[in-house]
Chain A
């Protein structure tokens, strides 16, 4: 018996949303991709049951949906020249206010990373997945995932070092 969609949404939607938001700055695209995940589950309720790791499966589905939608959207935009909807900040506001500058610095630094590195970084840091799981979710090898993570972390360290060292 497949789980009710509400239960799946409540368990995974926030994680999928944050992941998608980290991968794309187009909020409308993020919403479409998230919706696509649940439409797919509605069409084939047994999909999630067959998955070894439901979270990894959903993250992969969301990533694929975002990639497909972005491809279609970029084609459409090329013709229509419409502006994308700017996404809100990935991180929740922090207190005290000086931490907020750290938040903004991380956000800016993340935007300087290539999308595939950002995706790996997100899954490692905020989803706590292993490189094998990340590789499965992003359809790449665990070694590639690990090297992308190292590159991403090195770049983030370089970008955030001045700010971070002040706090040590």
Chain B
């Protein structure tokens, strides 16, 4: 009696039988379409290397130029081509590399007090009049 738990093993004939199954061929119309595209690529002149590389190199050169300018600017007392600023003035966004301490000091400095409101002005006038 054949056991349900010990099924009869299928030998190599199973694999052999599977391997003999005829496989579908690639559609005939694909050949022409694929080869036409492949030949179009093969015949196309190779993209000049300058076109592929120059964009990257130009971007890199621009970045390095900017860095060089900023570093040069940081060693100069004033920005080239502009009038020197009066003592005690600077443009933080242009001079971030110049002296971080000064920039930090400016950031931490107490903001100037806002102009008095009309109400405050009236009150001050009243107080002064009373004092007088």
Contact = CB atoms under 8 A, between A and B. Distances in A.
A-B complex is real = yes
Contacts of A31: 30
Interface string A26-49: 000001001100110111010000
Contact of B26 (A17, A39, A156, A160): A17
A21 B24 contact: yes
Interface string A41-68: 1110100000000000000000000000
Contacts of B41: 39, 42-43
Given A42-B42, A157-B14, A17 B35 contact: no
A9 interface: yes
Contacts of A128: 19
Interface in A85-103: 88-92, 94, 103
A5 B25 contact: no
A9 B34 contact: yes
A114 to B, nearest CB: 17
| Chain B contact surface mostly | helix
B38 A92 contact: no
B8 A5 contact: no
| Chain A contact surface mostly | helix
B37 A35 contact: yes
Nearest to B7: A161
Contacts of A88: 24
Interface in B6-25: 7-8, 10, 14-15, 17-19, 21-25
* Interface size of B as a range: 20 to 34
Nearest to A91: B21
Contacts of B7: 161
A18 B23 contact: yes
A39 B37 contact: yes
B34 A45 contact: no
Contacts of A5: 35, 38-39, 42
Given A6-B35, A9-B35, A13-B31, 5 more contacts: A38-B34, A38-B35, A91-B22, A125-B19, A164-B10
Interface of B: 7-8, 10, 14-15, 17-19, 21-26, 30-31, 33-35, 37-39, 41-42
6 contacts: A5-B42, A9-B35, A31-B30, A42-B38, A106-B21, A157-B14
